[in-house]
Amino acid sequence: MALALRWLRPLPSLLHRSSFPLSRGLPGAPTGCPALLLEGCRQCGHQVLLSRQLATKKAKGKGQSQAKVNISAALVEDIINLEETHEDMQAVVEALKEDFSRNISVRTSPGALDHITVVTKDGKFPLNQLGQISQKSPQLLIVNMTNFPESTAAAMKAIRESGMNLNPEVDGTMIRVPVPKVTREHRENLAKLAKQSTNKSKEALRKVRSKSISQVKKSKSKVSEDTIWLLEKQIQQMADEAVAEMDKLLAAKTKELLG
């Protein structure tokens, strides 16, 4: 029995040393270095290019594990600027937030017209730089174009095409903007506009993703297939996160509009 125990004692350490690595080594790392899935190689001190973490998500009825890629942007900057890609995607999300705030709202106030861009022969200008906007009553806004009377027609067109469901009327250099009553139909139309705007933003996001992935694929001759795959997956994850944020914004706006 004692002899058998002496033979069994080394087995755990032998099994540990012989366990099969879950990843292929990073190109350029010392032979046998399985550090691709780690933040760094503890055995050789080799700096690692990429890292992958496992995140667990529960699906309906059963649990599923999904690989989550976490790439160091600084170490792949010669292939693609991941920070710039993330900023471009977030810019699309922020533009959607701005659109919801300014254009898709139940209440219309003088400030809601400020952002409307008027195209004139001298360039593009915010409406509030060309005319004085005031509220005569809860259902009527006035835009005084006395300072720039030549831009009255352009201002009328900009207000009508703003997507705010406004039908301005002109009286000399004064633009009368009736504010529609908040009916159920109006709320539903605003909710439709919110969904359309979200879909347009998602299309813009897909263009950012496609552009980034195309840029990564141009480096296929310079880096390993694993690196290309991980970068593509990272970009897709960033896009998925942006889409999820857009869906939350749409859900919140729809609830605000329809109650």
For 8-56, write each residue's pLDDT tens digit. 454 444 334 333 333 344 444 444 333 333 333 433 333 334 444 433 3
144, pLDDT greater than 70: yes
CA distance 181 to 187: 10
Q: In Å, what is the CA distance from 201 to each residue of 42, 136, 197, 240?
A: 44, 35, 6, 13
Q: The dihedral of CA 92, 94, 98, 99: what is its sign?
A: positive
Q: How confident is the model at residue 222 (pLDDT cuts 50, 70, 90)?
A: confident
Per-residue confidence (pLDDT) for residue 66, from 0 to 100: 58
Of the two residues 24 and 247, the one the predictor is more confident about is 247
Within this chain, do residues 192 and 233 fall inside the same structural domain, yes or no? yes
Per-residue confidence (pLDDT) for residue 139, from 0 to 100: 85
CA distance 66 to 88: 25
Per-residue confidence (pLDDT) for residue 20, from 0 to 100: 35
Q: How confident is the model at residue 79 (pLDDT cuts 50, 70, 90)?
A: confident
**Containing domain of residue 218, as a range?**
73-104+183-258
Within this chain, do residues 82 and 197 fall inside the same structural domain, yes or no? yes
Token pair for 231: 């970068």
In a domain, 235, yes or no: yes
Phi then psi for residue 107, to 5 deg, are -95, 140
Q: Side chain identity at 21, as an amino acid letter? A: P
Q: How does pLDDT run across 95-125, given as a tens digit for each residue?
A: 999 888 877 877 666 677 887 899 999 999 9
Within this chain, do residues 172 and 222 fall inside the same structural domain, yes or no? no
Per-residue confidence (pLDDT) for residue 62, from 0 to 100: 46
Cα end-to-end span (Å), the chain: 76
Token pair for 228: 């290309």
Within this chain, do residues 84 and 188 fall inside the same structural domain, yes or no? yes
Within this chain, do residues 188 and 254 fall inside the same structural domain, yes or no? yes
Within this chain, do residues 208 and 173 fall inside the same structural domain, yes or no? no
171, pLDDT greater than 50: yes
Q: What is the tally of structural domains in the chain?
A: 2
Beta bridge partners of residue 53, listed in sequence order: 68
Q: What is the CATH number for 139? A: 3.30.1360.40
Within this chain, do residues 96 and 136 fall inside the same structural domain, yes or no? no
CA distance 213 to 80: 9
In a domain, 11, yes or no: no
Of the two residues 83 and 31, the one the predictor is more confident about is 83
